[in-house]
């Protein structure tokens, strides 16, 4: 299952999960979890199933995930107004992962903007 660790890492990063988070839910140390991602140890089928569950996909998706082929750049190019328009296709699972990451980041940005606004008010600066 060469490449499985790399796939797990990419999917974990898309979910914005830390290695520590994954390790805690897998009841193992962060160091041992890192060894899975670095492909230093073999991963058992039950552990792969648990990782897939945490990542919101199935084990087969992890095994077949290929970050290089996520976007099919060789896909159809249509001409419209003299501009080439690429139509990219991604799997529903990956789309869900990206959307979840985007929502998480948007929430974080909103929280930080609010915090910055409040800090400016406390400092007596002009709020823009």
Q: What is the CATH number of the domain that holds 9?
A: 1.10.260.40
CB 71 within 8 A of CB 90: yes
This model's pTM is above 0.85:
no
- Predicted confidence (pLDDT) per residue in 11-28, tens digit: 998 888 999 999 999 999
CA neighbor of 58 nearest in space, from 5, 11, 117, 10: 11
Residue 73 has pLDDT above 90, yes or no: no
pLDDT attached to residue 47: 95
Output the pLDDT for position 99. Answer: 87
Q: Last residue of a domain, which of 69, 88, 104?
A: 69
Range of the domain at 112: 77-123
CA distance 89 to 97: 14
Tell me the average pLDDT of the chain. 82
Q: Is 89 found in the same domain as 37?
A: no
Are residues 50 and 81 located together in one domain of the fold?
no
- pLDDT, one tens digit per residue, over 84-123 is 444 456 778 778 888 888 999 999 999 999 999 999 999 8
* Distance from C-alpha of 126 to C-alpha of 2, rounded to nearest angstrom: 56
Residue 31 lies in a domain: yes
């Amino acid at each position: 299952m060469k490449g499985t660790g790399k796939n797990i890492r990419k999917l974990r990063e898309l979910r914005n999960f830390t290695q520590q988070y994954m390790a805690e839910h897998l009841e193992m140390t962060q160091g041992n979890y890192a060894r899975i991602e670095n492909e230093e140890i073999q991963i058992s089928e039950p552990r792969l199933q648990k990782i897939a569950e945490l990542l919101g996909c199935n084990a087969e998706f992890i095994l077949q995930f290929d970050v290089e082929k996520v976007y099919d750049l060789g896909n159809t190019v249509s001409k419209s107004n003299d501009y080439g328009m690429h139509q990219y296709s991604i799997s529903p699972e990956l789309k869900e992962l990206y959307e979840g990451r985007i929502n998480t980041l948007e929430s974080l940005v909103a929280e930080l903007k609010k915090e910055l606004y409040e800090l400016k008010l406390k400092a007596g600066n002009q709020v823009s």
